Amino acid sequence: MFKIMGHENVVVLDGGLPEWESLGGGLDTSEPSEIEPANYLATFDATRVIDKSLLLEGIHDGSVNVIDVRPSDRFNGVAAEPREGVRSGHMPDAVNLPFTQLLEAGKFKTQDVLKSLIEPSLNDDKRNVASCGSGVTACILALASEHALGKVVTVYDGSWTEWGGDHTLPIVSGK
């Protein structure tokens, strides 16, 4: 998400706060000091995020490759969506790579394993777009792809909540 706004020097603590604490990392629990207001100018990187209209256009003209990271039963439309009014299924021509396959015990799998899992889902001739239920877990694929393969995967932040909730958009349901 930071890279979408132009930040390049970004790192992620694999395993999050629990991993930090298990490694003996300390936590500062003191009151934060007063922060001086500053002028900040973000530099939006449009290659890292896509909206519904551009995604629909890309599906119609074949210029995007959608990787849906939701569980397979939701992708295939055999499980009901957790949000009321959202249809079950997936976008036309999307492939399924559940984000849970990229993780083990709350951490990313090894770089070699990530490569072997992600590479078959990518298409170097198209813009690769990650989608999920609400735009959050799609970021796991985007991060893993950049880490393991050095390849940017665009995030559709509206994801299935937006797409499946818009009854004018095409979906595929069933295997």
> Which structural domain, as residue segments, surrounds residue 109?
46-165
- Is residue 18 one of the residues assigned to a domain? no
Residue-wise pLDDT for 123-171, tens only, equals 999 999 999 999 999 999 999 999 999 999 999 999 999 999 999 999 9
Count how many domains the chain has: 1
What is the domain-level CATH number for residue 114? 3.40.250.10
What is the pTM assigned to this prediction?
0.91
Residue 122 belongs to some domain of the structure = yes
Residue 2 lies in a domain: no
Instruction: Report yes or no on 32 lying in a domain.
Output: no
Active-site residues: which are they? 132
CA distance 130 to 43: 22
14 belongs to a structural domain: no
**What is the full per-residue pLDDT of the chain (175 aa) written as tens digits?**
789 999 988 889 999 999 999 999 999 999 999 999 999 899 999 999 999 999 999 999 999 999 999 999 999 999 999 999 999 999 999 999 999 999 999 999 999 999 999 999 999 999 999 999 999 999 999 999 999 999 999 999 999 999 999 999 999 987 6
